[in-house]
Copies of this chain bind each other. A is one copy, B any other.
């Protein structure tokens, strides 16, 4: 079989940008799928909204091997492992584990991402809205608590081995780790490292993966 043509990944070009494209980038690196980045610093640009993603957000991909254009990082991850992870390196092909991986991916997409994203927004713009700021810090902590409980006695979310479900959580966790959120006086009392050691250990182990490091290289 000849090598696949590189997948086009639409994402921001600079060092600063939202975490969602990194979810896709990590999976591309981990599966050694050839790709090229297409600089998309204005995701509301007319060409992009018209031809690539009507939602005006990054990431999106175009796969010249199949002719597919796809947006929403969760769907892109599912597509990449279905098409390019036939050996099941980070995917689960059948049964209970396959559905659990999808469940956690949806939790990442609907629970972790949106709440962490709102926390960042309120951290930046919410000084006049302390109740809003507090709400999202509490939700961030709640998601960390849930993940910590799920990881009790386990190294990974599904079948005790690394899957795409784990990888999908990395970029938003990383934002919260790096963001001054953690030094916010509102946040300190939560004592994440002390209270949620399973969560912290899991995230640190994922961040040590080559694919994650390569995804964040300048």
- Bound-state CA distance A94–B120 (Å) is 38
- The segment out of A1-9, A34-42, A102-110, A202-210 that lies at the interface is A102-110
Q: Does A126 sit at the interface, judged by CB under 8 A?
A: yes
Find out whether the CB atom of A106 lies under 8 angstroms from the CB atom of B75: yes
- Bound-state CA distance A113–B71 (Å) is 17
What residues on B are CB-neighbors of A109 within 8 Å?
74, 106, 109-110
- Bound-state CA distance A111–B54 (Å) is 13
**Among candidates B75, B107, B110, B149, residue contacting A99 with C-beta atoms closer than 8 Å:** B75
**Among candidates B55, B75, B103, B128, residue contacting A75 with C-beta atoms closer than 8 Å:** B103
Q: Does A178 sit at the interface, judged by CB under 8 A?
A: no
- Bound-state CA distance A134–B121 (Å) is 14
Copies in the complex: 2
Q: What's the least CB distance linking A117 to chain B, in Å?
A: 8
Residue interface bits A40-67, CB-to-B below 8 A is 1, else 0: 0000000000000011100000000001
**Consensus secondary structure, chain A interface:** helix
- Bound-state CA distance A32–B31 (Å) is 40
Find out whether the CB atom of B72 lies under 8 angstroms from the CB atom of A103: yes
Find out whether the CB atom of A74 lies under 8 angstroms from the CB atom of B110: yes
Which parts of A79-102 form the interface with B (CB within 8 Å)? 79, 96, 99-100, 102
Q: Does A68 sit at the interface, judged by CB under 8 A?
A: yes
B-binding residues in A (CB < 8 A): 54-56, 67-68, 70-75, 78-79, 96, 99-100, 102-107, 109-111, 113-115, 118, 121-122, 125-126, 128-129, 131-132, 135, 146, 149-150
